[in-house]
Amino acid sequence: MHSRRDFLQKLTASAITLPFLPKATSLDEFYSKPYDGPVLRVAIMGLGGYGTRVAEAMQSSKMAKLVGVISGTPSKIKDWQSKYKIPEKNCYNYENFDQIKNNADIDAVYVITPNALHHDQVIRVAKAGKHVICEKPMAINAKEGQEMVDACKKANVKLLVGYRMHFEPHTLEIVRMRKAGELGKITFFQGLSGFKIGDPSQWRMNKQLAGGGSMMDIGIYAINGSRYMVGEEPIWVTAQETKTDPQKFKEGVDETITFQLGFPGGAVASCLSSYNINNLDRFFLTGDNGFAELFPATGYGPIKGRTHKGELNQPIVTHQTVQMDEMAAIILQGKQPIVPVDGEEGLKDLKIIDAIYAAVKSGKKENLKL
């Protein structure tokens, strides 16, 4: 049995460098010294496989602390209370978590539930006056995503999306090289994201919960990656769907989609998202003067890469630890990440996903306005 969590299962070791943590030039320096600055107190909503991974990684965070849980499963709440020393007053279920508005010990909620639940849950958290971190995809379509962005703005709370790769050192080195002109004029990006999914009864194979299939789950990495690797927003998309097993992949649950993106500077992207092809996790970026490749590109680690200058030797990081410390700095100190992780960033990906599904149906080029 395989799932995305199996596909991305290798949790990595501590890192050495990181661009944004306050008053530190390296993770070694940051984590070796006492920290007495502000701490983001986080409740996790959704105590499944990835919620567990985030919770474990947060034990090494200095600027973010797990202080609460929200779950529909009482036994999980009890287990987490015991393991992470979470007080009873910081435990909620899906019916009563609006009451976090009265809990001064919780600053933010990390929503890690099935895609179709994000919209209502994020809006409820915002109305309760708490900052929100939402797993990707932020919603199941751009309309819902816009409503989430608007709700958080109205409530004057931050909305961030769980784009852990935006803080990954190999990724950021390629972004740096591209920005510095070391690759020359960018001409092409390839993003391959996929694996063979197992249990057909899991929520990711349920259109009502997932909002789609492989595109919503794993294809979003190639979509998002194309944007921060090329350094522009795409202006058109074309797409084609292949379905070899309609019994397993029901109506509305895409098995494999290939899609192409065009960028204003002339670069093009060729990408693939699949729930039925293994050994796909590769980004390739090329320009007039050089290239960069990540393979694996988005797994939990270790990320590996090379460029026309040789192998990339950036530190190996525990992505979720770095992500939570960086997001704490964004929320508490107004830090500006190199690659955005806010709700507007998530909304752009949703607009592209909407256009990809439209292009599959129409067979035509769909224009994008992000």
3-state secondary structure 54-86: HHHHHCCCCCEEEEEEECCCHHHHHHHHHHHCC
| Residue 5 DSSP symbol | H
Reported as type and span, the H/E element at residue 348 is helix 343-362
* C-alpha to C-alpha distances, 121 to 3, 37, 94, 109, 151, nearest whole angstrom: 24, 30, 9, 10, 11
Q: Alpha-carbon distance 18 to 60, whole Å?
A: 15
Q: Alpha-carbon distance 39 to 269, whole Å?
A: 40
Q: Is 158 a catalytic residue?
A: no
Of the residues 62, 130, 136, 351, only one is catalytic, namely: 136
Amino acid identity for residue 50 in this structure: Y
Amino acid identity for residue 334 in this structure: G
**Quick check: 273 and 259 in contact, CB under 8 A?**
yes
Q: Is 136 a catalytic residue?
A: yes
Of the residues 163, 221, 228, 275, only one is catalytic, namely: 221
Residues marked as catalytic:
136, 221
